[in-house]
Amino acid sequence: MDPKEVKSDLVLILDYGSQYTHLITRRIRALSVFSLCISGTSPLKSITDLNPRVVILSGGPHSVHTPDSPTFPDGFVEWASSNGVFVLGICYGLQLIVQRLGGEVRVGEKQEYGRMDIEVEKSCGLFGSKSVGHKQVVWMSHGDEVAKLPDGFEVVARSQQGSVAAIENSLRRFYGLQYHPEVTHSPEGMETLRSFLFDVCRVNAGWKMEDVLDEEIKVINDTVEPDEHVICALSGGVDSTVAATLVHKAIGDRLHCVFVDNGLLRYKERERVMETFQRDLHLPVTCVDATEQFLNKLKGVVDPEVKRKIIGKEFISIFDAFAHDLEQKLGRKPVYLVQGTLYPDVIESCPPPGSGRTHSHTIKSHHNVGGLPKDMKLKLIEPLKLLFKDEVRQLGRILNVPEAFLKRHPFPGPGLAVRVLGDVTQENALDILREVDEIFIQSIKDAGLYDIIWQAFAVFLPVRSVGVQGDQRTHSHVVALRAVTSQDGMTADWYYFEHKFLDDVARKICNSVRGVNRVVQDITSKPPSTIEWE
359 is catalytic: no
Candidate list 182, 269, 348, 438, residue with the active-site label: 182
- Report how far apart, in Å, the C-alpha atoms of 507 and of each of 421, 438, 498 are: 23, 14, 15
Say which residues have a Cβ less than 8 Å from residue 205's Cβ, sequence separation at least 6: 8, 31, 32, 33, 198
Going by C-alpha positions, the residue among 43, 72, 74 that lies closest to residue 58 is: 72
Q: Are strands 230-234 and 174-177 parallel, antiparallel or unpaired?
A: unpaired
Number of residues that this document lists for the chain = 534
Residue 501's Cβ-side half-sphere holds a number of Cα atoms within 13 Å equal to 17
Chain centroid offset of residue 222 CA: 27
Cα–Cα dist 467/486, whole Å: 35
- Report how far apart, in Å, the C-alpha atoms of 68 and of each of 41, 283, 298 are: 11, 52, 41
91 is catalytic: yes
CA dihedral 232, 237, 243, 244 (to 10 degrees): 50
Helix (H) or strand (E) holding 495: none
What is residue 218's three-state secondary structure?
Answer: helix
CA dihedral 232, 253, 4, 340 (to 10 degrees): -20
The answer to whether the CB of 192 falls within 8 A of the CB of 177 is yes
The answer to whether the CB of 308 falls within 8 A of the CB of 370 is yes
Residue numbers belonging to the annotated binding site: 235-241
Residue numbers belonging to the annotated binding site for ATP: 235-241
232 is catalytic: no
Cα–Cα dist 276/523, whole Å: 34
List beta partners, residue 450. none
From the CB of residue 227, how many other CB atoms can be counted at a distance below 10 Å? 8
The CA radius of gyration of the chain, in Å to the nearest whole number, is 25
Q: Peptide bond before 462: cis, by omega within 30 degrees of 0?
A: no
Candidate list 22, 62, 142, 180, residue with the active-site label: 180
Q: What is the DSSP letter of 410?
A: P
Cα–Cα dist 509/479, whole Å: 9
List beta partners, residue 107. 144
Q: Where are the beta strands (DSSP E) in 62-205?
A: 86-90, 104-120, 135-148, 154-159, 164-169, 174-177
Candidate list 37, 91, 201, 232, residue with the active-site label: 91
Cα–Cα dist 103/95, whole Å: 9
Active-site residue set: 91, 180, 182
